[in-house]
A and B are shown apart, each in its own frame.
Chain A
Amino acid sequence: MITSGKGGVGKTTTSANLGAALAKRGHKVILIDTDIGLRNLDLVLGVEKRIVFDLVEVVEGRCQVRQALIKDKRFSSLWLLPAAQTREKESVSEVQMKQLVVDLAELADYVIIDCPAGIEHGFRNAIAGALEAIVVTTPEVSAIRDADRVVGKLTDAGIPLRLIVNRIRPEMVKTGDMMSVEDVCEILQAELLGAVPDDEEVIDSTNRGEPIVLDETNRLAAIYDKIARRLGGEIVPFTNLSAPGFIGRLFTLWKAG
């Protein structure tokens, strides 16, 4: 599951791009949007016009799960199970959610659960079927405090977690106006899965419904690919965000390794 506590830190963007990066590597991936009532993963993937059935209808037995899965046209092994837009999060129970994830795990190598913001019913549903968690946070005090709450809840639930630090602005880290990735990992006491720089192209890619990993010329494509490999257990060195061609500034975000 992809979670964060705080909203707007990039859970849905991460879900879409990580899913696409895994699919590009040939893995079968199912993305589940659990943000019932406020779905957005369909938009980020650009499949909003192709939704016929949704998660709630699957859970209520009104359609087969295969009927509700939307196959991405760009990646042959990526599917989306969209959330219902006009229902409430209480429409689905934790037990139903758990069963759904078990069923979907039969069909795919990876089931990625895009969690809603907050720690209410929607969060408890998303956590129900998850075997491991990715906590997305930005290097801001408020996001880290919320992430800390979520890390506590995941730990209580016995779910292992790794961290993606999103929207890093290296120039602000350098001037001391933003926390570094190391600071964030230190505060949250969590293992780093990936560090993603802030990129204006992400906003446009979301509006167009084309995950940024489709653009091979964008540096984020390589970064998400590395995250996908780490997720599969590979040991991949972290990208040095100060490498030439990035912002041209000489400083290091991470110590080697």
Chain B
Amino acid sequence: MMRAFESPAASSQTVGAAGVARAELEPVPQRAAARGRAIVITSGKGGVGKTTTTANVGAALAAAGKRVVLVDADVGLRNLDIVLGLESRVKHHLLDVLEEKVTLDEALIRDKRSDNLYLLAAAQTREKEDVITAQMKALIETLRDRFEFVLIDCPAGIEMGFKNAVAGANHAIIVCTPEVSAVRDADRVVGLLPNDWRPELIINRLRPHLVKKGKMLSVEDVNGILRLPLLGVIADEPNVIVATNKGEPLALDATSETGAAYRAIAAKICGQDVAAPTVSLSGGSFLSKLGSLFGGRA
């Protein structure tokens, strides 16, 4: 049921050990036909579901036949490996690559379920300040040559880790829960992104029964403030916690409604015309409170 914890030391391999790892390397797709899109998944507030979103959207894109690499930019507090169930296979990480201790191919971990899904893990025992923004940017550029989608899982906050995660991206997906604090943080993050980006929004952990009772912000409440193109709405369900603990993204579960919602988001990202999210209940009761908070931008 629960998995044992990895020792942080497992990620601190020496250069000398790289040769051993080379033998077990999986083939990595070389050059995509066109340059891939680098999308940063960000939110400002922590715990709203950035990592879960990254894993699920990535898995859904890969299941749709796209070549996808997921980059965990949360140096020191990595978790994307856990959500994907790949934590025991992390040998090298992002900083090893940036510091040229190993090659990119040595650090990329191929997903056990999909041939075209890869993870570049974050270092667990290093600091975000160890990443040099220009190097990060160059790395994402390289990945864009080889993958159709580069999804960058951004750390919480708006400090150095955020700046590095955004540096190489050319698009953003904002993840927000229907809570006043999450909406305020998301609004702040949108303001910090480059002006010519048009970030898209995923509203996560909506509880329709609470919206109905007027005890939770509705999709309209949230987007009445943020005013971003809506990519999808994900309902809150306990299965997400179970899936995270097990390391199995719900996007790959054909019977899961949440999985279907992630697959619809992936289709939309690929430019397919997907029906608008159905989890939409009118609310509006919170709009006056929200409005007073966002006089500036909204």
- Chain A 142-186, CB within 8 Å of chain B: the 1/0 string? 111110110000000000000000000100100011110001000
Does the CB pair B215–A204 fall under 8 Å?
A: yes
Residues of B within 8 A of A197 (CB): none
Q: Which of B5, B181, B241 contacts A145 (CB under 8 A)?
A: B5
Determine whether B77 belongs to the interface, using a CB cutoff of 8 Å to chain A.
Answer: yes
Does the CB pair B244–A120 fall under 8 Å?
A: no
Determine whether B259 belongs to the interface, using a CB cutoff of 8 Å to chain A.
Answer: no
Q: Which of B45, B48, B159, B244 contacts A140 (CB under 8 A)?
A: B244
Q: Output the least CB separation between B114 and chain A (Å).
A: 21
Does the CB pair A7–B181 fall under 8 Å?
A: no
- Chain A 36-67, CB within 8 Å of chain B: the 1/0 string? 01101001100011000000000000000000
Does the CB pair B159–A8 fall under 8 Å?
A: no
Determine whether A89 belongs to the interface, using a CB cutoff of 8 Å to chain B.
Answer: yes
Interface residues of A in 117-137 (CB under 8 A from B): 117-122
Residues of B within 8 A of A200 (CB): 207, 210, 215
Determine whether A19 belongs to the interface, using a CB cutoff of 8 Å to chain B.
Answer: no
Residues of A within 8 A of B158 (CB): 37-38, 88
Q: Output the least CB separation between B45 and chain A (Å).
A: 6
Determine whether A6 belongs to the interface, using a CB cutoff of 8 Å to chain B.
Answer: yes
Query: In the complex, what residue of chain A is closest to B215 when comparing beta carbons?
Result: A204
Q: Which of A37, A117, A187 contacts B46 (CB under 8 A)?
A: A117
Q: Output the least CB separation between A105 and chain B (Å).
A: 27
Determine whether B1 belongs to the interface, using a CB cutoff of 8 Å to chain A.
Answer: yes
Query: In the complex, what residue of chain A is closest to B157 when comparing beta carbons?
Result: A118
Does the CB pair B44–A38 fall under 8 Å?
A: yes
Does the CB pair A145–B82 fall under 8 Å?
A: yes
Residues of A within 8 A of B185 (CB): 38, 40
Does the CB pair B77–A179 fall under 8 Å?
A: no
Query: In the complex, what residue of chain B is closest to A201 when comparing beta carbons?
Result: B215
- Chain B 133-164, CB within 8 Å of chain A: the 1/0 string? 00000000000000000000001111111000
Does the CB pair B216–A204 fall under 8 Å?
A: yes
- Chain B 150-193, CB within 8 Å of chain A: the 1/0 string? 00000111111100000000000000000111001100100000
Residues of B within 8 A of A143 (CB): 47
Does the CB pair B156–A8 fall under 8 Å?
A: yes
Residues of A within 8 A of B47 (CB): 6-9, 117, 143
Residues of B within 8 A of A44 (CB): 181
- Complex Cα–Cα for A176 and B215 (A): 30
Does the CB pair A146–B181 fall under 8 Å?
A: no
Determine whether B99 belongs to the interface, using a CB cutoff of 8 Å to chain A.
Answer: no
Does the CB pair B159–A206 fall under 8 Å?
A: no
Does the CB pair B77–A118 fall under 8 Å?
A: yes
Determine whether A107 belongs to the interface, using a CB cutoff of 8 Å to chain B.
Answer: no
Determine whether B54 belongs to the interface, using a CB cutoff of 8 Å to chain A.
Answer: no
Q: Contacts A9-B47, A38-B158 hold; do A146 and B77 have CB atoms under 8 A apart?
A: yes
Query: In the complex, what residue of chain A is closest to B239 when comparing beta carbons?
Result: A177
Does the CB pair B77–A40 fall under 8 Å?
A: no
- Complex Cα–Cα for A200 and B236 (A): 12
Q: Output the least CB separation between A43 and chain B (Å).
A: 5
Residues of B within 8 A of A169 (CB): 238
Does the CB pair B241–A172 fall under 8 Å?
A: yes
Determine whether B76 belongs to the interface, using a CB cutoff of 8 Å to chain A.
Answer: yes
Q: Output the least CB separation between A157 and chain B (Å).
A: 15
Q: Which of B181, B241, B289 contacts A12 (CB under 8 A)?
A: B181
Q: Contacts A12-B181, A43-B181, A203-B179 hold; do A141 and B46 have CB atoms under 8 A apart?
A: no
Does the CB pair A38–B241 fall under 8 Å?
A: no
**What are 5 sample pairs from A and B whose C-beta atoms fall under 8 A apart?**
A49-B292, A118-B76, A118-B155, A118-B156, A122-B157
User: Which residues of B does A touch, CB under 8 Å?
Assistant: 1-3, 5, 44-48, 51, 76-77, 79, 82-83, 124, 127-129, 155-161, 179-181, 184-185, 188, 207, 210, 215-217, 238, 241-242, 244-245, 286, 289, 292-293
Beyond A6-B79, A177-B245, 6 additional pairs, beta carbon < 8 A? A7-B46, A8-B46, A8-B48, A48-B292, A149-B77, A201-B215
User: Which residues of A does B touch, CB under 8 Å?
Assistant: 5-9, 12, 37-38, 40, 43-44, 48-49, 85, 88-89, 116-122, 140-146, 148-149, 169, 172, 176-179, 183, 187, 200-201, 203-204, 206-207
Per CB-CB distance, the 7 closest pairs between chain A and chain B, nearest first, are A7-B46, A8-B47, A7-B156, A117-B46, A117-B156, A40-B181, A142-B79
